[in-house]
Structure 1
């Protein structure tokens, strides 16, 4: 009965209504009107990430995440955040291997300000040596804090993992990049990167919240319509990696940790592949809470591990499936690997129970009901579904993909991708300071 009630509760999820269209310059626009609170998010997602960088110039996309806050022709250098905060707003940006995302959240009476600021970023960015030098130091400090001096930083940011899995594709390069590459880059290279990627034809604009659609369209046309493209729309060719047919065994060292870690990483399909959704089910089965298989067995019952994790990291061209465990006491990393393999083999060799299956489904149903709880979150989802899936309405119907997954799918996907000869096996150890 509880299962029926939980699945039925998905009907309580508020449908995200939206309109979408394109300006003459190729900018894709998505509008979501929700007048329940006087808040509006303006967001621009550019289809450029670390995978689009040239050899010897890693870190450019992430660098631009910082650089494009420096100022514009009409926004004085260093004043961007002051303008936002003065109007009671917040803003941020982030970069992945596949895209760069900027957003502001304002009281709805400042919508026009948000649109003007993002149009300024696109049309009039000031890219000069002062800004480059300033942000170079900012990025170096970020790298020190998040990767170099952070426990397990090379795992969290994949810099210790992906170079072993991606030999040809730029996914093997760090998103934050090489400081040597950034130091060596000339100002004209940064300008050229901006001209190549930060154009209307390589972006999606989302406005979500307390808006009047007709008035918003007029403002968008006024601020974004005249922006020219500095280059033709960038055309990508997927770089194909050779299949992994033999386990890749490596050791990485980290002077910031006290407890070692065993990490297993498999190369998997891209984010649009249905099997990626199945891998998310497997993650919930293995480590989705204290009743999950790996947690219950390795942490609770056998007391072998301090922590266990398993999750899919899906990207535009490829994905990965990452499993890891931290040992307790004298438990060896090999013991942890054996136990993780046992749990994978269970999934491969026998169907999960009906009770487990319904529990997983319920969790995804509840996540769907509770998703899109903020205007910025809705803006991010709308942009993401359009840019990478070509189907903005997945924001409302992606749950149907999860509903279609069967117990047989879970077994099939585990057999197809989670094999010992198709993975990276890493011992992540404390580096001696002697």
Structure 2
């Protein structure tokens, strides 16, 4: 079954935009979003060997014994209810899967499932307001909705005191929604979805999956269109059509409700019956079960787009989920790509260096499955050459297969990740998602965990057989090239009143213990013994502020730390991580670099030895550096091809000056000139200068005591010593805000949207008044229900989402507003943004209800803030970075509770200055420039084109 681990280190741009532009949902119509974090425990090598012998399968590894007990019951109205108890945090997660997706549409009426998901966030008959409102003042987290080909789901994690409210809301839109669907709401959400479609297609390669869907399935097949549908069909959707969609599909007998968290089975079932039991079910449309294609599509399509490099897609039609070959197909993709040791990565990216990236995945769906292989061709190399090498490797793989050692390593790595990931109860990939997915696809909430033994027993022969069967020359190929000129049952519930939220929050945070290693490294430990895993973060002052005249150096150092250390070269290092089930990665920010570590307790000592090698003895191979730099330069071109990436690169020097440490691109990738000139000596000197025990602190969270970890850390990290040279100082110059607004334009001819970004330099963060600043920033632009988002998205329908973020830096902070808008509303959107900010500072400061909602939400969110070791680690690491006492985190709810309107108004006047914004707009200047100039906000300058 589908056990592929979706992973990858996100750049700063992705971190900013993925969270803030998701709007009311994350549409996972694009391939890959359905992959869940499932991986498992690694046994010691000797034990594994004995098991292999017993099974007669050299690639066998023992599957972990993971307990995920559940209660499953069907209510009288047909609703399937699944309950799991998890009492480690005072939160409960709810996840409802409706058995309806884009596969249930028909030609001429595509996009209905996704459009309806949007409508479901617009209130119900008994709660006509924005659906998010009560949740965003109740401490809800992981709140979202998704649509794919097969199903639609809605989920949230709430404090236990808000459970009645959440179940009332979910049940109200299941049983009391049809009357709330109005023509006005339909028109509003239709515009929002159309902007989402424009936003997706405006991105490089944004039309690929639409082409793949129409080319690999016959026109009458439900997978021959993407989830978001067509513009014409969205325009034609009538109010009657939409109401019939609700009547047909949104009923208890067509849904799965999962409740997990700090609640008993008895209480959860009683509440399920209380809120959902009186909702009737009528006849549910017959569900499509399977529509696999008997033959491959042997076809090739080539197209051009505003992309920086050519991408090759190869697609094979394969069996749907639930088949006997599912596990082998899934494992095959990990053997082919997605890892440094994978076959295609080694050949195309490392050895031949004709590609910058390669990925592969099995996309299993209800009716049919597909295998995808995608390769980004390195500029300067021919598609024909790359495709020939790719085809050769695929043929050879199908012929010779893979070694048992490599297959075993992959399984062990996946198994270790599951142990680490099963701490989360809700959200994408959490326990509720796993239970619902298992029930939906396999008819058993425990199916995915029960299948781990089958997954563990897949042999190298099994993989080779599916490779030989499915990786045929007959397949679909899509090549997207750059344009020649790159243009860049129960008692009725009272529906008259929403249940009150119990605002009592009781948290038991583990005590922070501090000690110092023999080499002077300071360590903070928080014990958490729920799963046998240990997480660590080593952070050291440096980052982009230490780049000097080589913007991007700190990021390259972080990247190269994972390219081999000690006695392991890059590939051997990656293989060793997989063997241990360990994960070691490095990150770089504006002021700090960090190393992240996680391992199973049973493999802690050898994993720490590997961590020690990364810290004290990185290889910084010349050959690896050459390859990394080459691919890095290609990735900069990718950034410049995306409106948001281009804006993140161009705004910082406009705010701080090009020679300022914060004037480098906020993507962290630096400039092409700097990357070209970086040498191994630069890496060695940076590492020696900044990564030293007297400039670092280590935070440890996990299943370990001080008595266990202190000697182990001294044994492994204790021989790492600071150099004799004094630690250099990092002085960040202060800059002045401009006296009036400035506007910079970047031309992107033919762009379907304009990307608006406005920046403002803020004073450095300080603990005094931090809560007032956050409350002020949230109400105007920090969340879905903020003023600017409600204006541009919900009222005007000009944007898929508008938000602002204040970056966390040591010195002055960049505050950035961003809004992708439809082209013909660019200037009007800028005017609306200014109007909202000016009103916030004048005629309409923060209102009592806005502040009350913010306070409730922030305080109640603490219930879920420390649910996982990773969350706890992140909070403590930030506290340590800021030099704050341990009680600062614990006292946060009291400080928020004490906020007043006067304090928040004062923060707005102290920090905000919309008439001093530095604006950057990326779009089609032929259509937008004159109207922007007519706003008369400030001087307008057209920046040199990056095309």
TM-score, structure 1 length as denominator? Answer: 0.94
1:62 aligned partner = 114
Change (3 A) 1:195 1:406: same
Q: Which moved more, 1:15-24 or 1:356-365?
A: 356-365
1:92 aligns with 2:144: yes
Q: How does 1:14-93 map to 2 (within 5 A)?
A: 14-78=66-130, 80-90=131-141, 91-93=143-145
Contact 1:3/1:362 (8 A) holds in 2: no
Q: How does 1:302-313 map to 2 (within 5 A)?
A: 302-313=352-363
1:28 shift after superposition: 0.2
Q: How does 1:204-219 map to 2 (within 5 A)?
A: 204-219=256-271
2:332 aligned partner = 282
1:382 aligned partner = 435
2:471 aligned partner = 418
1:103 aligned partner = 155
SS at match of 2:396: helix
1:270 aligns with 2:320: yes
Change (3 A) 1:296 1:8: closer
1:405 aligned partner = 458
Change (3 A) 1:241 1:277: closer
Instruction: Structure 2: state its 5+ residue gaps.
Output: 1-42, 49-59, 488-748, 750-947
Change (3 A) 1:358 1:225: same
Whole-Å separation in 2 of the counterparts to 1:239 and 1:220: 31
Contact 2:329/2:362 (8 A) holds in 1: yes
Q: How does 1:338-353 map to 2 (within 5 A)?
A: 338-353=388-403
SS at match of 1:159: helix
1:363 shift after superposition: 2.0
1:141 aligned partner = 195
1:354 shift after superposition: 2.4
Contact 1:271/1:318 (8 A) holds in 2: yes
2:251 aligned partner = 199
Change (3 A) 1:138 1:245: closer
Cα RMSD, aligned residues only: 1.9
TM-score, structure 2 length as denominator? Answer: 0.44
1:130 aligned partner = 184
Whole-Å separation in 2 of the counterparts to 1:159 and 1:284: 25
1:338 shift after superposition: 1.5
1:274 shift after superposition: 2.5
Q: Which moved more, 1:334-343 or 1:63-72?
A: 334-343
1:176 aligned partner = 228
Whole-Å separation in 2 of the counterparts to 1:348 and 1:100: 36
After superposition, the C-alpha distances for 1:96-127 in whole angstroms (9 at most, x for unaligned) are 00000101110122111111111011011111
1:113 aligns with 2:196: no
After superposition, the C-alpha distances for 1:118-156 in whole angstroms (9 at most, x for unaligned) are 10110111111111011011101111112x11112223x
1:369 shift after superposition: 2.2
- Higher relative contact order, chain-length normalized (CA < 8 Å, sep 6+): 1
User: How many pairs align?
Assistant: 426
Whole-Å separation in 2 of the counterparts to 1:246 and 1:192: 35
Contact 2:61/2:456 (8 A) holds in 1: no
Whole-Å separation in 2 of the counterparts to 1:238 and 1:136: 29
1:391 shift after superposition: 1.8
Contact 1:352/1:407 (8 A) holds in 2: yes
1:308 shift after superposition: 0.5
Contact 1:251/1:429 (8 A) holds in 2: yes
Q: How does 1:318-329 map to 2 (within 5 A)?
A: 318-329=368-379
After superposition, the C-alpha distances for 1:151-210 in whole angstroms (9 at most, x for unaligned) are 12223xx21211111113110111001121111121011000000000101000000111
Whole-Å separation in 2 of the counterparts to 1:191 and 1:85: 28
